[in-house]
Structure 1
Amino acid sequence: MAQNTGECAFRLLGPIEVSVGDRVLELRGLRQRALLTRLLLAQGRVVSVDALAHDVWSGNPPRSARTQVSICVAALRRLFRDAGASCDVITTVTPGYRLELTSHWTDIAEFSARTEKGYDLARRGLTEQAAEQLHRALALWRGRAFGDLTSHFTELEAAHLSQQRMLATEQLMMLRLELGEHRSLVGELTALVGANPLREQLRACLMLALHRSGQRAEALRTFREGRALTVDELGLEPGADLRAVHEQILHDEAEPSASADGHCANAPWQAAPPAQLPSDSAVFCGRREELRRLDQVLGTDTSARTAPVACVVGPPGTGKSAVVVHWGHRAAARFPDGCLYVDLRETTGDDPGRTAQDVLRRFLRALGVPPASLPDGLEECAALYRSLIAGRRLLIVLDHARCYDQIRPLLPGDGLCRVVVTGCELLMDKGTAEVVLLGGLAQGEAVRLLAETAGADRIAADPIGAATLVGLCARLPVALRAAGARLARKPHWTVADLVGRMSDRSRRLDLLSQGENSVRACFDRALHTLPFEVAGHYRALGRLSASAFNTGIAADVLGLGGGEAEDALERLVDLHLLEVVGRDPRGALRYRFPGLLALHAAEAYAARPDAPTRRGELALAAPQRRHSAIQRHGADRDATGS
């Protein structure tokens, strides 16, 4: 909490209140509070002026919104400065503003830290200390989060925070039961169940408190009331945990029993909702249609018998993971029970120790299963995992999946969870998954990404050069970020300087392959995950990467028959490493490597010109046939103008 003079404290868990030192600031109007709240919820990330206008005016900003945002920010800055804030609280960072949180305090961050610490202490069996942390976390609440703000973004976030508050309350009630406070809890739990009649965890706690207080008949009546409510309103029987407590009370077995790790043996496993989604990108541009498609596929309809699955596919470098992570953060309020995430590149390759079972065990630990209670076998882990997430609204993100067998044990058993899978090819049948295909960014989105990475002024100073640079990057997000980073590191370069260098095809990948935004590394990773035979075909076809080719030419280069060559080409099309560009004059399909992959395939061929193919004799068995194929390919290209 803010104690030192000049440090700001932001209280959002109730009516919005801001103070500098001991002085409480007077915020003027809903719009000022909404804008400040939007900046606070960004958690130190830059929020563009357009995003602020959209959210402050709930998606319907007036034409003067940008000007009004600037006026509002100026007023807030003046308010902080006059109150003696020790540093600039709101800074201007293209394309908008950022609220600096490093030297300030927020009750939301404090609540999150204390609840996480409480959950961790509970997992370690330190019941009394855990209860104290959760009690102090819940004491931060002063009413409905964000007070009287009714903007769409605050309503979603308020719902999410309210869910976190309720989960912390339920955990605290369980801990206090373990500490033997059942008599003092009866009244408190009765009020909580009355206000939240469908929260089965609270009802189970009330039943236990009543039974341990000698009110067995009242405990059973509480169960009957809850069952009638769920059957009437939801058409469902009570959940397994509540039924288990009912059975324990019926058989007079609901007395607390300490397990080896200090937890109550009769209490269902409980943990903080998992929040494993990686942090969102500080710069994310475009993809509106793809995000809308994810909204549509992974909507709020819970009538499906199985969990809806979205497969986000596309060539390497299109930003599949970034799109999914951005959507996940945007839709977090839809998943009050949290998010499970795994990067499946860590479970592939030459590391046999990282299997689907390891991922399941990791998920089970995140869901609160003590390590000593984890099953041994894959099927047992999968069964417990499906049981624990049944009836929960969880987002499950399976990033960089390679095949369906890899993800099958990780799929839920009912329709409340939502699953997003990313990879270079569709991993499930159309009947069980919906496809969201990513390609290059739209031209305007690509220029914007370049501007946000390299600096808006430099890009605006040369719009023609910027458009050319976007074309050289094939509108690929990983390449645009790399080009922008290159310009940012070279302030003495103009856009034209970089365009001139990248116009040399032999240098283009080098210029785009330094640091974390390396295009070559991105493509190399994709190639490394391919089956050996498919990778060999990719390398061999790199000899033809500069232009389009038909099946006959590919067959000669690969040393395959016509049907086998067509299968090989279509496999690469499925992986988005080749694209179909029409037909030649004889009606045969023509293929080519898209964009920068053409350069990478040529490099791969040059590095391994004798890379084995299915017949293993590309370099030795048919040199004359390959020579004639290249000659025919040149003739075809001359004839078609490709």
Structure 2
Amino acid sequence: MAQHTGMCAFRLLGPMEVSVGPRTVALRGVRQRALLARLVLARGRVVSVDALVRDVWNGNPPSSARTQVSICVAALRRLFRDAGAGDDVIVTVAPGYRLAPAEHRSDLAEFADKTEEGFELSCRGDAEQAAERLQQALALWRGPAFADLTADFAELEAGHLAQQRMLATEQLMELRLELGEHRSLVGELTSLVRENPLREQLRACLMLALHRSGQRADALRTFREGRDLTVDELGVEPGADLRAVHDRILHDEPERSAPPTALPVAPLLPAPSQLPADSSVFTGRGTELRHMDEALASPGPGRGAPVCCIVGPPGTGKSALAVHWGHRKADDFPGGRLYADLRETADLPPRHAAGQVLRGFLRALGVPPKQIPTGIEECAALYRSVLAGRRALIVLDHASSYEQLAPLLPGDGPCRVVVTGSELLMDGTAKVLRLGGLTQEEAVRLLARSAGAARVVDDPVGTATLVGLCARLPVALRAAGARLAGKPHWTVADLVDRMTDRGSLLDALGRGEHSVRACFDRALRLLPPEVSDHYERLGRVTEPAFDVWTGAQVLRLAVRDAEDALERLVDLHLLEVAGRDDCGALRYRFPALLGLHAADRHAVLPRVGARRRELALVASGAGGVIAPPPGADRGRAES
């Protein structure tokens, strides 16, 4: 008799829950949960074993990680089979695994579908049905998304989903106001504004609900409270839409109305403000900020929107600088501040990645989903048309190719673009800002802000030594500050003692949110495999600087090919030119701390190779062993 199979249901909008039909699947351990969540997020696409290893272990996997992934998948398959789901929930497809689309459903996909349908119905003027769909979508939430997962990828996705949840909530409030539910909304909106005091669309809805309920004074007080908050915390006045609602209420003007079909977007939809929060410990960079001011000044005729490219080694704070400048200049961009972390689309082909970002930008700019084209060229053309004459800022973070960037650039007009990446990707029309370490004074200030000023002031000599060990690199200084902040009984000298051994320096800077090793690992994941392989192999060089012939020997390449490989790493700011020797030949070296990281990565390669040989021997024997995961035989060769 054929075994009965059931549909798997994955619920991630809250604590993770998995069921097959009426039966709950009891997941065992954090690795199983993280791996399964990563497959669910892929929505039927193949996730490579390398990506699973990277994300499940937060960029710092053990040498046995690939084997553990294989074992974990086998265990999950047994769990699903025992629950009645059959053997084909997790499918092996080189170079990794995927969830069979026909065999599972998730609340993530259901939330996305219902919100999309709700927005479309709203654009058609069907407020009642749109509100019903959005209420159904929001009812799927049982708490913060991925509430019981601590993996970095889950935290990033949880932030994105929280933003989508808030956008759906704001749209629902707009629709219910349109349906005349202002009296019943006052209490609900008051709570929402209290929890999200800087969301101007929610505040505008509350003001309208109060005003329409005969509470004009309370509506005006709500505006004053919001204005005081934005001025105190952000140093800016409220947005134009919120001020317009205030002015109408203040002058007791009648409500502007129009037939529902004439309102393709929500009437109070604010200009998008997508920049991540500014860093609370951002320090210095005055010269660089002035350079950006000049680079993004008014362009000459016909040159297109000004673009500033921030490039430099990983850990220098390129993203933090771009975001800080955007917040500092927020008033200059009433048309909105768009932001995309292109690292999140690194697994997609460049044009597909650009299309995904473009559609998100168009929705944020108020284009009804039904009017967004499917083709990338049509999307890009509509994007340029919507931005024409609109003074907006576009921040494109962690770019890796011009093909990925090109569709996201606006045409001529008052927009401004900031791009961050490891190398220069634009043509000569872009202004380039090459970022390095902080000045000594800036580095000490950043350390004091991260760790607390008292210990830094008490030991100026130890502080100078610590700053030197961190190479004045922002990511290292923040990691050191976080370590000290978490150890109030330590002095600066205690941490310095733990960092003087070069072999353990990265370990000392690898705790908490700001891990130097994890930062460098993330940068490598964006590179082509052969480039990261060259970087790792050069980690065996022990001299402070080396020439191309040494590089050729280590990389096992012809001299000309080795020179090309070294120059590629220079372009990516993973190597730098250390001058010329007496014969005029170029010499190369790793930027600060990257040499330690490359040596650390190189040390892992022999263990990985030995483990692969062990797996191959076991797999060739008898006894029903677990085979290595797909693609394992295509890994990097042993050094």
Q: TM-score, normalised by structure 1?
A: 0.59
Contact in 1 for aligned 2:241/2:268 (Cα 8 Å): no
- Using the alignment, how far apart are the partners of 2:254 and 2:457 within structure 1? 59
Question: Which of the residues 404, 407, 410 maps onto 1:406?
Answer: 404
- Counterpart of 1:379 (choices 363, 377, 380) is 377
Instruction: Compute the displacement of 1:270 (Å).
Output: 7.2
Match of 2:320 among 319, 322, 326: 322
Task: Return closer, same or farther for 1:178/1:166 CA change in 2, 3 Å cut-off.
Answer: closer
1:444 aligns with 2:496: no
C-alpha distance in structure 1 between counterparts of 2:544 and 2:318, whole Å: 27
Q: CA deviation at 1:125?
A: 8.9
Q: Which residue of the other structure, out of 545, 548, 561, is the alignment partner of 2:545?
A: 548
CA contact (8 A) 2:390 2:413 kept: no
Inter-CA distance 517–137: structure 2 relative to 1 (3 Å threshold): farther
Amino acid at match of 1:582: G
In structure 1, how many angstroms separate the alpha carbons of the residues matched to 2:444 and 2:519? 21
Q: Which residue of 1 aligns with 2:533?
A: 536
Aligned partner of residue 446 in structure 1, secondary structure: helix
> How far did 1:371 drift?
2.4
Q: Distance in 2 between matches of 1:121 and 1:303?
A: 43
1:566 corresponds to which residue?
563
Alignment of 1:227-626 (within 5 A): 256=259, 258-259=260-261, 264=263, 271-300=269-298, 305-349=303-347, 355-431=353-429, 433-609=430-606
**1:549, 1:487 → 2: CA distance?**
36
Q: Secondary structure at the match of 1:492?
A: coil
Counterpart-to-counterpart distance in 1, 2:248 and 2:494: 61
Alpha-carbon deviation of 1:368?
A: 1.4
| Cα displacement (A) at 1:178 | 3.8
Q: Cα distance 1:505–1:355, how it changes in 2: closer, same or farther (>3 A)?
A: same
Tell me which residue corresponds to 1:126: 178
SS in 1 for 2:314: coil
Q: 1:65: which partner in 2?
A: none
Change (3 A) 1:528 1:618: closer
Which letter does structure 2 place at the counterpart of 1:371? P
Q: Is the alpha carbon distance of 1:117 and 1:165 closer, same or farther for their aligned partners in structure 2, counting shifts above 3 Å? A: farther
CA contact (8 A) 1:317 1:479 kept: yes
CA displacement, residues 43-96 of structure 1 (integer Å, 9 cap, x when unaligned):
xxxxxxxxxxxxxxxxxxxxxxxxxxxxxxxxxxxxxxxxxxxxxxxxxxxxxx
Answer whether contact 2:540 2:599 (CA < 8 A) is retained: yes
Tell me, yes or no, if the aligned pair for 1:446 and 1:480 is still in contact at 8 Å.
Answer: yes
Cα distance, 1:297 vs structure 2 = 1.2
Q: Which moved more, 1:328-337 or 1:353-362?
A: 353-362
Pairwise CA distance, 1:271:
2.5
| Segment of structure 1 superposing worse, 495-504 or 122-131 | 122-131
- The answer to whether the 8 Å contact 2:350/2:403 transfers is no
Q: Which residue of 2 aligns with 1:165?
A: 243
Deviation at 1:617, TM superposition (A): 13
Counterpart AA for 2:361: F
2: CA distance, partners of 1:555 / 1:405: 31
Q: Is the 8 A contact 1:274 1:340 kept in 2?
A: yes
CA distance in 1, matches of 2:179, 2:480: 53
Q: Quick one: structure 1 residues 514 and 579, their matched pair in 2 at CA, closer, same or farther if it must change by over 3 Å?
A: same
Tell me how far apart the structure 1 counterparts of residues 553 and 544 of structure 2 sit (CA, whole Å).
16
How far apart are the structure 2 equivalents of 1:558 and 1:495? 40
Q: Distance in 2 between matches of 1:310 and 1:381?
A: 24
User: Counterparts of 2:527 and 2:205 in 1: how far apart (Å)?
Assistant: 52
Letter in 2 for 1:446: A
Q: Which has the higher contact order (CA 8 A, sep 6+)?
A: 2
**Contact preservation (8 Å) 2:455, 2:491:** yes
Pairwise mapping of residues 144-223 of structure 1 onto structure 2 (< 5 A)?
Answer: 161-162=239-240, 164-166=242-244, 176-179=255-258
Distance 1:308 1:294, change over 3 A: same
Q: Look at both structures and tell me which one has the larger radius of gyration over its CA atoms.
A: 1
Contact 1:157 / 1:333 at 8 angstroms: preserved in 2?
Answer: no
Residue 609 of structure 1: CA displacement? 4.7
Which stretch shows the higher mean deviation, 544-553 or 310-319?
544-553
Instruction: Measure how far apart 1:304 and its partner are.
Output: 5.6
Task: Give the AA of the match of 2:491.
Answer: T
- CA deviation digits over 1:463-518, x for unaligned, max 9? 11110110101111010011111111122221111111101011100010111100
- For the aligned residue pairs, the C-alpha RMSD in angstroms reads 4.0
Sort the Cα spacing of 1:376 and 1:125 in 2 relative to 1 into closer, same or farther, 3 A: farther
Q: Secondary structure at the match of 1:608?
A: helix
Instruction: Quote the Cα distance in structure 1 between the aligned partners of 2:272 and 2:300.
Output: 21
**2:129 equivalent in structure 1:** none
Deviation per residue, 1:207-265 (Å, 9 max, x gap):
xxxxxxxxxxxxxxxxxxxxxxxxxxxxxxxxxxxxxxxxxxxxxxxxx5x44xxx536
The alignment covers a number of residue pairs equal to 421
**CA-CA distance at 1:349 after TM superposition:** 2.4
Distance 1:429 1:461 in 2: 49
1:88 match = none
- 2-side partners of 1:333 and 1:515: how far apart? 34
Aligned sequence identity (%): 56
Mapped contact 1:303–1:415 kept (Cα < 8 A): no
Report the AA paired with residue 584 of structure 2: G
**Alpha-carbon distance in 2 for matches of 1:171, 1:528:** 53
1:458 corresponds to which letter in structure 2? R
Separation (CA, whole Å) in 1 of partners of 2:247 and 2:169: 14
| Distance in 2 between residues matched to 1:456 and 1:519, nearest whole Å | 22
Instruction: Tell me the amino acid that sits aligned with residue 165 of structure 1.
Output: R
Asked whether the 8 Å contact 1:269–1:368 carries over to 2, the reply is: no
CA contact (8 A) 1:513 1:520 kept: yes
Q: CA deviation at 1:299?
A: 2.6
AA aligned to 1:295 is D
Task: From the superposition, tell whether residues 174 and 373 of structure 1 become closer, same or farther in structure 2 (CA, over 3 Å).
Answer: farther
Distance in 1 between the 2:460 and 2:405 partners?
45
Per the TM alignment, residue 603 of structure 1 is displaced from its structure 2 partner at its CA by 1.1
Aligned mates of 1:590, 1:171 — CA distance in 2: 69
| Unmatched 5+ stretches in structure 1 | 1-113, 180-255, 624-642
Render the CA deviation track for 1:256-299: whole Å, top value 9, x for unaligned.
Answer: 5x44xxx536x898731001111111111111111111111123
TM-score normalised to structure 2 length: 0.59
